[in-house]
Structure 1
Amino acid sequence: MRKKVLEELDELKSASEATSDDRKPIELDQQSVGRLSRMDALQGQAMATASHQRRLHRITALEAALQRMEDGEYGLCIECGEAIAPRRLEIDPAAAKCIRCAAL
């Protein structure tokens, strides 16, 4: 599971680096870019920023899973302490709660 977590972390970090230009501020010079082109650029920037935020959230969850592995607490629910179903961890290796606690 550790290998799977590390691979996903690498993918997410690479994607964040690859899209850093898409999140840069948009130049609002009306002489060089028309109004609709600026609106498209702003929308693209907003979408790139939202994707980046989702990636950062996932990176945080994966790093927390790695820390739980280091602490010997991986696979245990952080709420109730019960074991998390192996199938749940296969689907989402960053799962920190059992299905019952996650549903609450």
Structure 2
Amino acid sequence: KKGKDGVEAISKIMSNLRANVSNSLLGKEVVSKRDFSLGYEGLPKSDVIQFVLEDNTYITARPSGTEPKIKYYFCVVGKTEIEANEKLMKTMEDFQAFID
């Protein structure tokens, strides 16, 4: 979506992430929810939210500054590179299904 509709859609998704994700995400416990719009550890306020899951997976969402879309960043931990890549792909697929 572009223009006003795009801005509204982005705002709705970010608001839903802030309001509706608290204890679990993708079937895992959320051990930390960092809402940078409130300020975090001395950093300037920003429209960014980050979830840290029980398995040390990090999922970060922020609206693009130049395009009408949200950028998502994923960090996963695995015992091997192959395991980490598989976990990353599954996490990304599961998260896409979650936000759709």
Q: TM-score, normalised by structure 1?
A: 0.31
Q: Which has the higher Rg, Structure 1 or Structure 2?
A: 1
Structure with higher strand content: 2
Higher relative contact order (CA 8 A, sep 6+): 1
